[in-house]
Amino acid sequence: MTTATLAPQRTESGTIRTLRTILTVVALAFLVLFAAVQIVPFVLTVANSFKCDAAVENRPLAFIPRLATVTCRDAEGEFISPDEQVDGVLFTPSIDGYRGILNDQLPRWALNTAGLSLVVTLVRLVLDSMAGYALARLSFPGNRLVFFVILGVLMIPGVVLLIPRFLMLKEMGLLNTYQGYIITLAADAFGILLMKQFFESIPKEIEEAAQVDGANRFTIFFRIVLPMATPALTALTIFSFQGNWNNFMDALIILGGNTDMYNLPLGLTVLRGAGQDIQYDLVLAGSVVTTIPMAIIFFFFQRYFVEGISYSGLKG
């Protein structure tokens, strides 16, 4: 890996050196500022998810928790005042928000999200890798045509599909069913192209040797090729899982009619409450719970996120 920095020139005058130092300091300050802008909102979100609703709205900046806890309603059932919970940057955490979402439908939504993401990802791994292999290795009539159609499909904006998907699934009787969600997202163009590209990069010789030994294409694919494709399959797994874990639009259209079927993003919009009176304690606790699983996966598989990133925006 090479680093494309601008190397200091050997013969530079004092002014240039001063200028360079100023530039470096400005660049560094900018970088640190931007990193703070990216990180601080998450810190505040986590801190405020442990506050009572009134304290979120009136004392949002306190971010250092004390070792005690409070409940948001006192013995008489009255809400405590924000000042009782917050003092300067210190606050006494409350788990009422988390308790609230746990008693709500959130556990159900979390299960839905995990289940749907897992099943869609598994189906995609099979369908995408099979199609990718066929496009990379097998000569069948229409191979080129299928490839170009899949490339073209990448260009179709998702919002255009909202309405017709809704009415097609309705006609098929699949609206507000898990099956409807799964089958709609069972294959994706990005995954197929990713797998095709990977299969083209591995040497043909092993497959040819197996063919000489009399193995058919199905055996070769499932026994020999697929086990070699672990890196590509991992990248695909992560992208598909992440995409479905966070999928709002498809869930809204396909599962929006039945709150029992909601996934977490869709459920969060329900926790919000109606109108301008937002239940911040519930919403922020729900946001944290929704984010934690993805955060864990991110920290363990960061390499795959960064490697596959050039495709990230293309997933449909």
Partner 1 sequence: MQDTLAGLSFVLPAVVVLFTFLILPLLVAFYFSFTDWSGTRPLDQPDAYEMVGFENYQRWIIDGRRVDDFYRSVRNTLYYVAGVVPIQTALALVLAVIVNQRWLKGKAFFRTAFYFPSITSSIVVSFIFLFLFSGGGPINLLLKAVFPSFEPVSWTTNNDGLVHLLLNVFGVNGRTVGPWAETEILGLEIWEWISGPSVAMFTIMCLAIWTTTGTLMVIYLSALQNIPSSVYEAAEVDGATGLQAFRHITLPLLRPTTFFVVTLGLIGTFQVFDQIYVLQNDQTARTTTSVAYLVYATAFEGTSPSLAEASAIAIVLFIIIFVATLIQRRFVGGDQAET
* Binding of residue 305 to partner 1 (CB under 8 A): yes
Residues 156-175 that bind partner 1 (CB under 8 A): 156-168, 171
Instruction: Compare residues 77 and 139 and give the one whose CB is closer to partner 1.
Output: 139
CB of 30 to partner 1, least distance (A): 7
255 lines the binding site for partner 1 (CB under 8 A): no
Pick 77 or 268: Cβ nearer partner 1: 268
Looking at residues 186 to 205 of the shown chain, list those that interact with partner 1 (rule: CB under 8 A): 186-189, 192
Nearer to partner 1, 103 or 218 (CB): 218
Candidates 155, 203, 212, 227; binder of partner 1 (CB under 8 A) is 155
Q: Are 175 and 254 in contact (CB under 8 A)?
A: yes
146 binds partner 1, rule: CB under 8 A: yes
Q: Judged by CB under 8 A, does residue 45 bind partner 1?
A: yes
Q: How far is the CB of 290 from partner 1 (least distance, A)?
A: 5
Site membership for partner 1, residue 2 (CB under 8 A)? yes
3-state secondary structure the chain: CCCCCCCCCCCCCHHHHHHHHHHHHHHHHHHHHHHHHHHHHHHHHHHHCCCCHHHHHHCCCCCEECCCCCCCECCCCCECCHHHHEECCEECCCCHHHHHHHHCCHHHHHHHHHHHHHHHHHHHHHHHHHHHHHHHHCCCCCHHHHHHHHHHHCCCCHHHHHHHHHHHHHHCCCCCCHHHHHHHCCCCHHHHHHHHHHHHHCCCHHHHHHHHCCCCHHHHHHHHHHHHCHHHHHHHHHHHHHHHHCCCHHHHHHHCCCHHHCCHHHHHHHHCCCCCCCCHHHHHHHHHHHHHHHHHHHHHCHHHHHHCHHHHCCCC
Position 90 contacts partner 1 (CB under 8 A): no
- Of the listed pieces 64-72, 87-95, 103-111, 300-308, which binds partner 1 according to CB under 8 A? 300-308
Q: Is 280 in the site for partner 1 (CB under 8 A)?
A: yes
**Cβ 283 vs Cβ 268: under 8 Å:** yes
Q: Look at phi and psi of residue 18 and say left if phi exceeds 0, alpha if psi is from -120 to 50, else beta.
A: alpha
Q: How far is the CB of 75 from partner 1 (least distance, A)?
A: 27
22 is an interface residue for partner 1 by CB under 8 A: no
Smallest gap from residue 273 Cβ to partner 1 (A): 12
**Applying CB under 8 A, does 139 fall inside the site for partner 1?**
yes
Q: Which is nearer to partner 1, 76 or 105 (CB)?
A: 105
Residue 131 binds partner 1 (CB under 8 A):
yes
Nearer to partner 1 among residue 85 and residue 242 (C-beta): 242
- CB 103, min distance to partner 1, A: 20
How far apart (Å, rounded) are the C-alpha atoms in residues 240 and 128?
11
Residue 108 sits in the site that holds partner 1 (CB under 8 A): no
- 64 near partner 1, rule: CB under 8 A: no
**Which region among 87-95, 99-107, 126-134, 223-231 touches partner 1 (by CB under 8 A)?**
126-134
Q: How far is the CB of 76 from partner 1 (least distance, A)?
A: 26
**Sheet of 64-65: strands edge to edge?**
64-65, 90-91, 86-87
